[in-house]
Amino acid sequence: MPDGLSRRAKNSEDEDEDEPEFDEEDWIKTHPGFGAKNVNSLNFSGIQVPTKQEGFWRRMKEYLSTMEIPQSSKDEEFRRIKRKSSYFFLEDGQLKRRNNPNPQLVISSQECQSYILKTLHEDMGHRGGNETYRIIKARFWGEGMKKSVKKWVQSFLACQKRSQNLQREQGKSTATSAIFERASMDACHIKSGRLKYMVVARDDLSGWPETVGLVK
């Protein structure tokens, strides 16, 4: 019989107590003729992203590098910089946003955002807006980037064809209001017997059929 202890939900402290500590790659043994491939990832290493910051984010970068008020920053903007500065840091001269599990490179230039979207979107095979944004935000961050991604994806004809938000013409009823107001006709070949063809007329409203056999 299960007791209260067995039904107790695991907390974060004992979640990993029973998990073995090993690297997943260590227990995957290679076998001739077989290989492993990551099919849902994207390689960012070949993408050379311009890191020049603009406007507010250029002054944020300047503040984090000197910890002094940027010369061109006004009091109101500087208060905003100080308020947001705890969420950002500099690494190898690049402005990054703190994020779990990996920090995001800040892309403040619209030109740089367009370059990233064009490069990654084509490499990913024209996926939808949500999937494209999910992959891009794993490494990059910028104000209004989600809206930019959706707008960019919608501009591609190939993506529009795959979109789940396609506008469809509203269906219209084709039913008639009176019997024998409209009928459908068809002819079919008869393989054996004296008759060679049969003509069928069917009323659209009631479904009533009438048939006539033809010799020729």
User: Would the pTM of this model clear 0.75, i.e. be above it?
Assistant: no
For residue 67 the two structure tokens come to: 């910890």
pLDDT of residue 12: 40
pLDDT number for residue 11: 46
Residue 71 has a pLDDT of 85
The arrangement of strands across the sheet holding 183-189 comes to: 183-189, 197-203, 209-214
Interval 45-92: pLDDT, tens:
555 666 678 889 999 999 999 999 998 889 999 999 999 999 999 998
pLDDT per residue over 19-57, tens digit each?
Answer: 333 333 333 344 444 443 333 334 455 556 666 788 899
pLDDT at 62: 92
Supply the pLDDT for residue 40: 34
Query: Which of 118, 106, 4 is CA-nearest to residue 64?
Result: 106
Closest CA to 158 of 117, 127, 123: 127
For 43, 44, 66, 101, 185, the CA distances from 196, given in Å and listed in that order, are: 67, 70, 96, 76, 17
pLDDT of residue 1: 52
Residues 6+ apart with CB under 8 A from 199: 185, 186, 187, 211, 212, 213, 214
Q: List the one residue out of 89, 92, 124 whose CA is nearest residue 106.
A: 89
Residue 180's region, left for phi above 0, alpha for psi from -120 to 50, else beta, is left
* pLDDT tens, residue by residue, 187-211: 888 888 888 899 999 988 888 999 9
Q: Going by CATH, does the domain composed of 55-160 fall within 3.40.1160.10?
A: no
Question: What is the spatial distance between Cα 12 and Cα 38, in angstroms, rounded to a whole number?
Answer: 29
Of 139, 104, 95, whose CA–CA distance to 119 is shortest?
139
Cα separation, 189 vs 80, whole angstroms: 83
Q: For 34-84, what is the HEC assignment?
A: CCCCCCCCCCCCCCCCCCCCCHHHHHHHHHHHHCCCCCCCCHHHHHHHHHH
Higher pLDDT, 107 or 158: 107
| pLDDT value for 156 | 64
State residue 60's pLDDT score.
Answer: 93
Intervals of CATH 1.10.340.70 along the chain: 55-160
Answer yes or no: are the C-beta atoms of 104 and 134 closer than 8 Å: no
Report which residue type is found at 124.
M
113-156: pLDDT as tens digits: 888 877 776 666 656 677 778 888 888 998 888 888 888 777 76
Q: Tell whether the model's pLDDT for residue 173 goes beyond 50.
A: yes
What was the pLDDT predicted at 44? 52
How confident is the model at residue 87, as a pLDDT?
Answer: 94
In this predicted structure, what is the pLDDT of residue 200? 92
